[in-house]
Amino acid sequence: MTSTAERPTAFREPSWWDKQGDLIMRRPFNEWTFTHMNWLMPTERVARGATSLPLPIEHQPLDLTYRFDDRDRSLTELHRRTFTTAFVVLHRGTVVHESYPGAFTGPRSRMQLFSLSKSVTSILVGIALHDGLIGSEKDQITDYRPDFLGTAYEGNTIAELLDMTTGVGDLETWEVSDSGIKRFEQAVMGGGDIADVVRAATRAAPAGERFNYSTFDTQLLGWVLEAATGQSLAAYASEKLWQRLGADRDAYYWLTRGRPRTAIGGGSLNATARDVARIGLLMANDGVVGGERIVPQEWVRRSRGNDRPQLAVGALGPSGYRHYGYANQWWTLGSESFNAFTGLGVHGQYLYVDPDAEVVIVKCSAWPTQDDEIRDAETIAALRRVADHFASPR
């Protein structure tokens, strides 16, 4: 009989690490884990600059109600019903409301942002394109990652990664134990090679034909960015974003347990709620912070939506809720007269940006499940109501 160490990988006995993802996500533990990922995983620092740009603070009560499910509800009810851990509202660049209902949260707590990280990766790609480090969004993935030649991603472009129209991969569902995203999570937590998991994805539709939400697509986008810049995701985010935002505190990406360790460009950024709000302010102000342009204006505008019918609000199909469209790694909400858009992460992470109302809202949460369409719809109803409150004359 062979020892455990000598058995083929396929027959390896399950370890605690294989279940770590499930334990991290489970309530009530997730209120702690979502603010202590640096205690659980290897990390790489996203260093802030030598000086911060303070956000003005003029706290005021938000004694308003939002309408959901034929009832008027308060923000206190929102926080209770949707397990809010942090809630920050900016109006015209000023913090007008801030609360931390989570048991382990406060202004200095760095929150696990999950797929809200995807929107930050998009910002960094826009900067790299402007700086000429990425030649064009029409470039193929394999121009930067030739190790994906011969996979389903061969022939796909960076633009298709950005809009998640590569046509590669299955429906991203956490409830199916052998789904692509569950295999990805197990490799991340258990020491496997996530590149092998992504390379094994199969083609499900022609490129550009339909939307399919895919963490694999954003992971590749992050790897393209690292190959183009010659820097890790964390180092590039520090140089091009965090130091220029005037962030209060260093952020960090947690890394895969297996080597070569790599950040999850689609899900492993951790930052304070105030610093996430600074990202929203950047997007609300067309890419400018403190009078300095950080992101090209056309890149910000692209993130608010486009005219592609398969990406329109209500047209995303089974991998997007009916009240969303998609563009450039952001979820869009509006039409020609409503320009709000949001970054999203599982378990209820939001960066809601309404440039017309000059409002940015950060909501971090610890939902008991990764996805919940009803909690999501209620949250969006509440955030829209908050933005409308500041947009309306009082």
For residue range 175-190, what is the model confidence (pLDDT) as tens digits? 888 889 999 999 999 8
Across the chain, mean pLDDT equals: 92
Q: 32 is written with which tokens?
A: 């702690």
Task: Provide DSSP, 280-297.
Answer: HHHHHTTTEETTEE-S-H
pLDDT at 7: 31
Report the distance separating Cα 1 and Cα 233, nearest Å: 44
Sign of dihedral through CA atoms 289, 118, 218, 21? Answer: positive
- Under the banding of pLDDT at 50, 70 and 90, the label for residue 3 is very low
Q: Do residues 154 and 143 lie in contact, with contact meaning Cβ atoms separated by under 8 Å?
A: no
Residue 193: which region, alpha, beta or left (left: phi > 0; alpha: psi -120 to 50)? beta
pLDDT at 85: 98
pLDDT at 21: 66
pLDDT at 323: 94
- pTM value > 0.85: yes
Q: Which amino acid makes up residue 335? A: S
Task: Provide DSSP, 58-119.
Answer: -------EEEETTEEEEHHHHHHHTTEEEEEEEETTEEEEEE--STT--TTPEEE-TTHHHH
DSSP run (H or E) holding 133: none
Mean pLDDT of the region 343-348: 98
Mean pLDDT of the region 201-213: 96
pLDDT at 265: 97
Helix, strand and coil in the chain, % to nearest 5 = 35, 20, 45
**Token pair 């009560």 is at which residue?**
61
Q: Do residues 289 and 242 lie in contact, with contact meaning Cβ atoms separated by under 8 Å?
A: no
pLDDT at 337: 57
Mean pLDDT lowest for which of 69-78, 313-322, 331-340, 370-379?
A: 331-340
Q: Which amino acid makes up residue 130? A: H
- Under the banding of pLDDT at 50, 70 and 90, the label for residue 336 is low
- Range 37-391 has CATH code 3.40.630.40: no
pLDDT at 392: 66
Non-local CB neighbours of 192 within 8 Å, separated by 6+ positions: 186, 258
Q: 30 is written with which tokens?
A: 């997730």
Domain-wise residue ranges, the chain: 37-391
pLDDT at 151: 98
Higher-confidence position of 125 and 336: 125
Q: Do residues 56 and 95 lie in contact, with contact meaning Cβ atoms separated by under 8 Å?
A: yes
Q: Which amino acid makes up residue 364? A: C
pLDDT at 79: 98
Q: Do residues 313 and 307 lie in contact, with contact meaning Cβ atoms separated by under 8 Å?
A: no
Mean pLDDT lowest for which of 183-187, 215-219, 261-265, 357-361?
A: 183-187
Q: Do residues 128 and 191 lie in contact, with contact meaning Cβ atoms separated by under 8 Å?
A: no
- Under the banding of pLDDT at 50, 70 and 90, the label for residue 12 is very low
For residue range 16-35, what is the model confidence (pLDDT) as tens digits? 455 666 678 888 899 999 99
Q: Do residues 55 and 107 lie in contact, with contact meaning Cβ atoms separated by under 8 Å?
A: no
Mean pLDDT lowest for which of 17-21, 105-109, 113-117, 144-148?
A: 17-21
Mean pLDDT of the region 319-347: 91
Question: Strands 251-254, 110-112: parallel, antiparallel or unpaired by DSSP?
Answer: unpaired
- Under the banding of pLDDT at 50, 70 and 90, the label for residue 263 is very high
pLDDT at residue 8 is higher than 70: no
